[in-house]
């Protein structure tokens, strides 16, 4: 590529193009002179050939890529911008004091180290002899009078801080950034580093802190349910992160605002993340504030991150259950007894006996609920050895159950039998909800000559659904000693996306142990598959203790989401239950008309009240189908209590209230390792360098040796300017008009 200029007019073109332009111009001039000499009207022809030459010359000049460049010399001294981080993460005590820095402490906080460097005015050599101007700025410091919410939302935006220095800088020579590289707001600092590089301004980063986490135990999250049933255990999952170099044996404590407390022993491995849960019995109706905490262990440097508070509500239960069966086998009888005697459950039974007809008596119904308003009242449906066919369910009825589960967050429990009737459910959409693959060649199931037991999987050990004891250790012993079974459904394997809670301890196939208890999600609802019909045998020696408890927990577990916020006309459920700032909350709702039928004509709106009192109205989108389903979502912008008032605009009296607690999880945290890789990348992209406080003198010398900033060059690409085609069209038009006037055509 050849570069040359005529004053401020600069050209760049390859050699062959320059040669071609010269040849074209010579040819145009030669032909123009010859045409003028031969013409009988040489003056007119000469003028036309002159216009032709101007057209060709203009095109040739544009092919050479002309640019008009102006150079602006700055009257200001070169500027060096110094920016430092004052966010909360800078309070981490892991910065080593340089030997050249006054003081007796070996370790300082990152803030103290930067503060001492700033107080020392290490940039004074830059200003000697008036060679440079120095500008200083800090960012990320929370307001002194900030409340808890403002402190939780404060963070570090390195991209914005350096971007402001670049935008406001005049004749910028270099930038120095002092911090730990920990950013959590805005975009990556890579973007602003590229802008510095384009301007020819290097970023020198001075790393503070340690890129290894300080020794600490941190209770990072508590994912408690929003409500629990009075008198029942609620499972409180939590996460602990350890950066200690040794295993720790400790206790976690959960305590209520009434003073009741509970403990659990833990062993936390060195440098690991520990996931666990603790049980808490809900004793009263209404909201209770619970605190979960860890004692400070030896070697911990941060003591204020070992506890968290959360709110959980106690509710009286009212669960509607429908049990459908063909033969009154033992499992059916004891499930009916268990649910009928449970004060929190209202049960209806539909017995479709192939020979004796419909079952009759207390808790029995004679026909399957054909109307949506009659079926939608059920929270859980148990399907025994029932299929699709004469005297059993119709395809339409099976599809209604499938729609109830997917669209209205109900639960369905499959308990197959030796008749194999559930195989015919594949004729309907309900069959797709079965979470296992069945062996079509063994519809009668798998029989055992001796008693076979099941064992819990790791997922089953952690599930509240299989919690038959008061503690995890007691529960493990109970399941190990439960009476076994002699028959199981012909399960091949669990479907993808499902969860196996228990499996056959004796039988295996190519996929592993045969699943016994399997759960899955289906739309908004839940599915449970019980591959045996011998849970009634768990009564041996203990009567109804474990059998009743298990089926009661199944009903409560499956109806939990459906009853998060339920009224007469509206039902609302959402995920996640305890969102963090920045999370999107997905909303699902069902609405009904005054007759109890799903609302198909109408809209559903929600008034969102943020923790700061701001109110925003959103309208949920109507989903396809006849289930009165609506959905939407919103973003949690701040921690605290969000109030949701869900209503039908035409009938505000049918509104329901719900509360979502956004955990006050601070964006900016102490104790995290410094992110030296971020600082290194910023310097590398902008052609600077990362140093530590020990090398501050070297940094000063290196910046002083930098060349002065280049003058600002403004370039206008003439070949791409809108005037270029305009001028060419004008010249060609004049040439064409001239030829017409000359009578050439």
Domain count, the chain: 5
| CA triple 193-199-204, angle to 5 deg | 45
| Residue 474: partners with Cβ closer than 8 Å, 6 or more residues away | none
153 and 262 part of one domain: no
Two structure tokens written together for 479: 């399941």
- Residue 745: per-residue pLDDT: 45
Question: Which letter, b or e, does each residue of 563-584 get, where b requires 16 or more Cβ atoms within 10 Å of its Cβ?
Answer: bbbbbebbbbbbeebbbebeee
Decide: 373 and 598 in contact? Cβ < 8 Å: yes
207 and 338 part of one domain: no
384 and 494 part of one domain: yes
Decide: 365 and 296 in contact? Cβ < 8 Å: no
The pairing of beta strand 690-692 with beta strand 629-635: unpaired
One DSSP character per residue, 262-285 reads EEEEEEE-TT-EEEEEEEEE--SS
410 and 498 part of one domain: yes
| Residue 117: partners with Cβ closer than 8 Å, 6 or more residues away | 178, 206, 693, 696
- CATH, residue 143: 3.40.50.410
- Residue 163: per-residue pLDDT: 92
551 and 615 part of one domain: no
Q: Distance between CA atoms of 471 and 468, rounded to whole angstroms?
A: 9
Two structure tokens written together for 693: 């406080």
Decide: 323 and 348 in contact? Cβ < 8 Å: yes
Domain assignment of residue 136, given as a range: 79-212+671-709
The helix (run of H) or strand (run of E) holding residue 169 is none
- Residue 743: per-residue pLDDT: 66
Mean pLDDT computed over 409-435: 91
Three-class SS state of 191: helix
Q: Distance between CA atoms of 221 and 181, rounded to whole angstroms?
A: 24
Two structure tokens written together for 463: 């599930």
343 and 374 part of one domain: yes
**pLDDT bucket at 74, cuts 50 / 70 / 90:** low
Q: Distance between CA atoms of 399 and 402, rounded to whole angstroms?
A: 5
Q: Which residue, of 315, 350, 385, is where some domain finishes?
A: 315
- Residue 197: per-residue pLDDT: 92
One DSSP character per residue, 467-492 reads --SSSHHHHHHHHHHS--EEEE--EE
Mean pLDDT computed over 520-540: 88
188 and 273 part of one domain: no
Mean pLDDT computed over 65-92: 84
- Which one has a higher pLDDT value, 529 or 128? 529
- Residue 626: per-residue pLDDT: 63
Decide: 201 and 220 in contact? Cβ < 8 Å: no
Please count the other Cβ atoms lying within 10 Å of the Cβ belonging to residue 407. Answer: 22
Q: Is the pLDDT of residue 193 over 90?
A: yes
Which range is least confidently modeled, 344-348, 449-453, 473-477?
A: 473-477
- CATH, residue 429: 3.40.50.880
Mean pLDDT computed over 535-558: 81
User: Tell me: the pLDDT tens digits for 595-615?
Assistant: 777 887 778 899 999 988 899
Q: Distance between CA atoms of 7 and 29, rounded to whole angstroms?
A: 26
538 and 491 part of one domain: yes
Q: Is the pLDDT of residue 420 over 50?
A: yes
User: Tell me: the pLDDT tens digits for 628-667?
Assistant: 888 899 998 888 888 999 988 888 778 888 888 887 677 7
pTM of the full structure: 0.67
- Residue 541: per-residue pLDDT: 65
201 and 261 part of one domain: no
Two structure tokens written together for 317: 């239960």
Q: Which among 149-158, 240-249, 558-567 has the top mean pLDDT?
A: 240-249
- CATH, residue 587: 2.60.40.1930
Decide: 412 and 527 in contact? Cβ < 8 Å: yes
Q: Is it true that the peptide bond before 576 is cis, omega within 30 degrees of 0?
A: yes
Q: Is the dihedral of CA 333, 335, 341, 345 positive or negative?
A: negative
Decide: 570 and 646 in contact? Cβ < 8 Å: yes
Q: Is the pLDDT of residue 620 over 60?
A: yes
Helix axes 15-38, 42-63, angle to 10 degrees: 170
Q: Is the pLDDT of residue 385 over 60?
A: yes
- Residue 711: per-residue pLDDT: 67
645 and 700 part of one domain: no
Q: Distance between CA atoms of 668 and 179, rounded to whole angstroms?
A: 14
203 and 121 part of one domain: yes
Q: Which residue, of 297, 315, 333, is where some domain finishes?
A: 315
Which range is least confidently modeled, 63-67, 264-268, 541-545, 606-610?
A: 541-545
Decide: 251 and 264 in contact? Cβ < 8 Å: yes
Q: How far apart are the first and last CA of the chain?
A: 43
User: Tell me: the pLDDT tens digits for 568-580?
Assistant: 788 888 888 888 8
Helix axes 189-198, 158-168, angle to 10 degrees: 20
Decide: 646 and 656 in contact? Cβ < 8 Å: yes
366 and 476 part of one domain: yes
| CA triple 190-193-195, angle to 5 deg | 115
Q: Is the pLDDT of residue 401 over 80?
A: yes
Mean pLDDT computed over 391-397: 91
Burial class (CB in 10 A: 0-12, 13-18, 19+), 653: exposed
Beta strand spans in 186-247 (E): 203-207, 217-222, 227-229, 233-242
The helix (run of H) or strand (run of E) holding residue 530 is strand 525-530
Q: Is the pLDDT of residue 729 over 50?
A: yes
Question: What mean pLDDT value characterizes the chain?
Answer: 86
The helix (run of H) or strand (run of E) holding residue 326 is none
- Which one has a higher pLDDT value, 153 or 320? 320
The phi and psi torsions of 550 (rounded to 5 degrees) equal -65, -50
Q: Is the pLDDT of residue 205 over 90?
A: yes
Q: Which residue, of 516, 537, 563, is where some domain finishes?
A: 563
Question: Which letter, b or e, does each residue of 715-728 get, where b requires 16 or more Cβ atoms within 10 Å of its Cβ?
Answer: eeebeeeeebeeee
Mean pLDDT computed over 24-53: 85
Of 177, 168, 169, 170, give the one whose Cα is nearest residue 204. 177
Mean pLDDT computed over 416-437: 91
- Residue 127: per-residue pLDDT: 80
Of 494, 473, 455, 454, give the one whose Cα is nearest residue 276. 473
- CATH, residue 262: 2.60.40.10
């Amino acid at each position: 590529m050849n570069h040359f200029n005529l004053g401020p007019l600069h050209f760049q073109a390859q050699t062959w193009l320059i040669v071609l332009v010269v040849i074209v111009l010579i040819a145009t001039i030669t032909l123009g002179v010859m045409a003028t000499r031969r013409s009988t009207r040489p003056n007119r022809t000469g003028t036309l050939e002159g216009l032709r030459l101007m057209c060709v010359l203009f095109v040739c000049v544009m092919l050479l890529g002309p640019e008009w460049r102006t150079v602006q010399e700055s009257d200001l001294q070169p500027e060096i911008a110094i920016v430092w981080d004052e966010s909360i993460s800078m309070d981490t005590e892991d910065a080593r004091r340089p030997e050249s820095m006054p003081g007796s402490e070996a370790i300082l906080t990152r803030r103290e180290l930067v503060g001492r460097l700033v107080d020392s005015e290490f940039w004074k050599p830059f200003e000697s002899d008036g060679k440079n101007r120095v500008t200083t700025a800090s960012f990320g410091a929370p307001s002194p009078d900030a409340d808890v919410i403002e402190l939780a939302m404060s963070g570090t935006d390195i991209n914005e801080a350096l971007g402001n220095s670049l935008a406001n800088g005049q004749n910028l020579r270099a930038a120095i950034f002092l911090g730990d590289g920990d950013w959590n707001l805005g975009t990556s600092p890579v973007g602003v580093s590229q802008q510095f590089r384009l301007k020819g301004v290097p970023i020198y980063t001075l790393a503070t802190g340690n890129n290894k986490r300080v020794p600490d135990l941190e209770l990072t999250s508590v994912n408690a349910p929003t409500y629990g049933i009075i008198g029942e255990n609620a499972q409180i999952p939590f996460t602990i992160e350890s950066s200690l170099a040794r295993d720790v044996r400790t206790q976690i404590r959960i305590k209520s605002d009434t003073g009741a407390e509970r403990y659990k022993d833990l062993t936390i491995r060195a440098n690991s993340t520990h996931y666990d849960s603790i049980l808490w019995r809900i004793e009263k109706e209404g909201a209770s504030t619970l605190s979960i905490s860890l004692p400070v262990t030896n070697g911990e440097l941060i003591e204020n991150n070992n506890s968290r508070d959360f709110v959980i509500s106690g509710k009286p239960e009212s669960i509607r259950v429908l049990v459908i069966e063909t033969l009154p086998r033992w499992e059916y009888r004891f499930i009916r007894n268990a649910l009928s005697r449970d004060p929190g459950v209202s049960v209806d039974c539909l017995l479709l006996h192939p020979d004796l007809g419909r079952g009759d008596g207390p808790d029995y119904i004679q026909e399957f609920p054909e109307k949506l308003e009659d079926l939608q009242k059920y929270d859980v449906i148990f399907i025994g050895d029932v299929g699709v066919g004469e005297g059993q369910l119709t395809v339409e009825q099976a599809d209604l159950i499938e729609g109830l589960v997917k669209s209205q967050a109900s639960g369905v429990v499959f308990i197959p039998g030796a008749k194999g009737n559930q195989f015919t459910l594949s004729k309907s959409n309900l069959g797709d909800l079965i979470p296992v693959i069945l062996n079509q060649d063994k519809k009668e199931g798998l029989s055992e000559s001796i008693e076979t037991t099941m064992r819990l999987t790791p997922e089953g050990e952690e599930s509240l659904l299989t919690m038959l004891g008061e503690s995890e250790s007691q529960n493990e012993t109970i399941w190990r000693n439960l009476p076994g079974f002699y028959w199981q459904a012909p399960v091949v394997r669990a479907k993808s996306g499902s969860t196996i809670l228990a499996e056959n301890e004796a039988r295996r196939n190519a996929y592993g142990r045969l699943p016994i208890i399997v759960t899955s999600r289906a739309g908004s609802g839940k599915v449970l598959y019980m591959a045996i019909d011998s849970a009634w045998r768990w009564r041996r020696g203990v009567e109804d203790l474990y059998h009743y408890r298990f089926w009661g927990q199944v009903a409560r577990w499956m109806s939990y989401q459906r009853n998060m916020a339920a009224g007469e006309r509206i039902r609302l459920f959402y995920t996640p239950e305890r969102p963090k700032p920045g999370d999107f909350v997905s909303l699902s709702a069902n609405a009904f008309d005054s007759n109890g039928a799903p609302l198909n004509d109408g809209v559903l709106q929600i008034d969102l009240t943020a923790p700061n009192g701001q109110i925003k109205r959103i309208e949920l989108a109507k989903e396809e189908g006849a289930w009165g389903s609506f959905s939407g979502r919103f973003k949690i912008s701040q921690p605290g209590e969000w109030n949701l008032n869900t209503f039908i605009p035409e009938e505000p009296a049918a509104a329901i209230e719900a509360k979502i607690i956004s955990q006050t999880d601070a964006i900016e945290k102490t104790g995290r390792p410094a992110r030296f890789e971020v600082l290194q990348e910023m310097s590398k992209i902008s052609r600077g360098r990362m140093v530590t406080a020990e090398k501050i003198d070297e940094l000063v010398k290196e910046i002083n040796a930098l060349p002065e900033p280049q003058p600002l060059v403004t370039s206008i690409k003439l070949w791409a300017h809108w005037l270029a085609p305009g001028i060419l069209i004008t010249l060609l038009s004049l040439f064409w008009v001239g030829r017409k006037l000359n009578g050439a055509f």
